[in-house]
Amino acid sequence: MDKTIIEVKNVSVKYITGDLRNIGLKEYLMKKLTRQYEIKSFMAVNDVSFIVEQGDMLGIIGNNGAGKSTLLMVVTKIMQPSAGTVKVNGRIAALLELASGFDADLNLKENAYLRGAMLGYTREFMDKKYPEILAFSELQEFEQRPFKQLSSGMKSRIAFSIASMIEPEILILDEVLSVGDGGFREKSEAKMREIIQNGKATILVSHSIPQIRRMCNKVLWLDHGNQIRFGEAASVCDEYDAFLKTGILPEKENK
Amino acid sequence: MLENIKCKIKQNRFLFEELVKRDFTKKYKRTVLGMLWSILGPLMTLGVMALVFTQFFGRNMEHYIIYLFCGNLLYSYFKESTGTGMTALYDNSGIFSKVNVPKYMFLISKNVSSLINFGINIIVLFIFCIIDGVPFTWKFIFLLYPIGCLVVFNLGMGLILSALYLMFRDMKYLYDIFTLLLMYLSAIFYSIDAYSQEVQYLFYLNPIYVYIRYFRKIVLEGAIPRLSFHLLAAAYALIALLIGAVIYKKKNYKFLYYI
C-alpha cells in the first residue's frame, strides 16, 4: 500500500535578497537616484526532486546555506517555487526553526491554542488535546508563565509536544531535536517513531548524522541548493561522512 | 469579493478568535484600566479642543461640542485602526514566515479591537447628544451606513499600509505626518461654510471628511444626505479595499523577502 505523501518534482526557488530588506523610503529613493539600488537573487534550491511515501522518515542534510529550510518552506506552502511542482497529501504540522512563531507575551496555554489555530485545528480539538500536550511537555508548573520567561529548551519542548500530539499526517521538524536534555530527546525520538509507525510521514532536518542514521530511512543531501543524493539513509550518510572528512563533493547523481 | 473574504473568515474562525484574544491581551496587558483609557483618550482630546476652539469657531454654531465630537470620533477611529493595522504584517512576520496562514487575518484581528473602541465611543457620543439636547430621530439608523463604509475603508487602507510598512520601514513617520495634515483638512473643529462653493467641493476629495459630513448631517441636521453622497462614501471604501486586496494577492508570497 505504497502511498505517496509528498512529491517534489524539479523544484527550484529563486531567492531574492539585497536592498529590499530593511530599507526606508528615503533610503530607497536615494539609492534609486544614485543607481545603487541592487536586488540580488540566487538559486536557493535548484532542481530538487524527491518523494516521501507513507511511513517514510526523510532526513535532509547539508551544510549551512544548502537550501534545506527554503525547501521546507516550499513544502509547507509558505513559499512558491519558481519552477517545478509540489504535491502534498495530508495535513502538515511544521516546526521550522526552534520554537518560532510563538508570542512572547502570551502564556503557555494561549500559545498552544494559537499554534493549534494556525495549524488549522478547531477549538474543540485543542480542548481535548491540550492536557496531553501539557503532560508530554512536562511543563505543568510553567503553564501560566509568559513565554518570554521560559528557557529555549522549554520552548522547543512545548513546540515539539504541540506538533506531535495533534496527530499530524505529516510532521516536519527543522533542527528541533538538537536542543532539550537527554531524557526529553529520547522521549521525543520515541514519539516520532510512534508517529511513523502510525503510517504518517516525517521530514527531519538535522546536522547530527548519527541521529539521521538512527531515525531516517531516506536521506536527501543538498549542497548550495543542488541535490547531491537522494536515497537510502545508510549509503547517503556514508558518502556524506566521507565528504566531511575529505571535503570533496561526489559527482551529482543522474536523475 | 467581500463574500469571498467572509467565507474565508468563517473557515479560519478559531484562528481569528485566538488572534483577537491575543491582540486584546497584549493591548490592555490584562488590566481593567486599559479599557477605560480608550474612552479617556478621545474625551480628553475633545475637552481640549472644546476649550480652545469654542471661542473661535463655536460662537455661531449650535451644539458645537457635538460637531467636534463627530469629527473627532471618526477621525480617531481612522487613525487608530490604520495606525495599529499598519504594523500588523510586520509584527507577525515571525508567524507567517514559519506557518502558512492567510495574512490578512493579522490585520482584521487588529481592526476588531479598534472597532470595539469606536463602538464604545459612539455610545459616549449618544450620551453627549442627550446631555446637549440633540433630538434623536429614526434617521439615526442611517449612521450605520457611514460606519460600514468607514470599516471597509479602514480595512482597505490597513491592507495597503501594512504592505507598504513591510517594504519601507520609515512609513510610520511619514504616515504620522500625513495623519496630522489629514486632521487639519478634515474640518474637525471648523466649518467649511466660509469657503467658496468650489473649495467646499475640494473637501469631498477627502474620504474622512465625507464620512464626518455624513455623520453631522444625520446627528446635527436630522437630514439624510443625497444619493450621490452615498455613492461617493461607498466608492472610497471599495476602492481602498480593492487596492489593498490586489496588493495582498500579488505580493502574498513576496512579503517573505522583505523581513
Taking CB atoms and an 8 Å limit, are A101 and B94 in contact across chains?
yes
Chain A contact set for B22 (CB, 8 A): 103, 106, 110, 114
Q: What is the CATH number of domain A4-31+38-246?
A: 3.40.50.300
Q: Is the pLDDT of residue B31 over 70?
A: no
Classified as helix, coil or strand, B221 is helix
Classified as helix, coil or strand, A13 is strand
The string of pLDDT tens digits covering residues B199-228 is 999 999 999 999 999 999 999 998 999 999
> What does the alpha-carbon distance between residue B232 and residue B211 come to, in Å, rounded to a whole number?
10
A128 at the B interface (CB within 8 A)?
no
Torsion sign across C-alpha atoms B56, B62, B65, B71: negative
> What does the alpha-carbon distance between residue B141 and residue B221 come to, in Å, rounded to a whole number?
14
> What does the alpha-carbon distance between residue A41 and residue A39 come to, in Å, rounded to a whole number?
7
Which class for B49: exposed (0-12), middle (13-18), buried (19 or more C-beta within 10 A)?
Answer: buried
A163 at the B interface (CB within 8 A)?
no
Q: In Å, how far is A110's CA from the nearest CA of chain B?
A: 8
Q: Is the pLDDT of residue B5 over 70?
A: no
Q: Is the pLDDT of residue B122 over 50?
A: yes
Report the pLDDT value the prediction gives residue A157, as an integer from 0 to 100.
83
Chain B contact set for A40 (CB, 8 A): none
Tell me the pLDDT of chain A averaged across its residues: 83
Name the residue of chain B whose CA is nearest to A15's CA: B257
Residues 6+ apart with CB under 8 A from B162: B85, B86, B87, B88, B89, B90, B106, B107
> What does the alpha-carbon distance between residue B62 and residue B50 come to, in Å, rounded to a whole number?
13
**Would you place residue A1 in the very low, low, confident or very high pLDDT band (cuts 50, 70, 90)?**
very low
Residue with cell 485602526: B81
Q: Is the pLDDT of residue B242 over 80?
A: yes
Torsion sign across C-alpha atoms B91, B84, B104, B207: negative
Q: In Å, how far is A76's CA from the nearest CA of chain B?
A: 7
**Would you place residue B119 in the very low, low, confident or very high pLDDT band (cuts 50, 70, 90)?**
very high
Taking CB atoms and an 8 Å limit, are A94 and B259 in contact across chains?
no
**Would you place residue A254 in the very low, low, confident or very high pLDDT band (cuts 50, 70, 90)?**
low
DSSP state of B168: B
Residues 180-239 of B with CB under 8 A from A: none
Q: Is the pLDDT of residue B61 over 70?
A: yes
A40 and A17 Cβ atoms separated by less than 8 Å: yes
Q: Where are the domains of chain B?
A: 2-258
Q: Is the pLDDT of residue A228 over 80?
A: yes
Q: Is the pLDDT of residue B237 over 90?
A: yes
Report the pLDDT value the prediction gives residue A38, as an integer from 0 to 100.
83
The two beta strands, A218-223 and A83-88, are unpaired
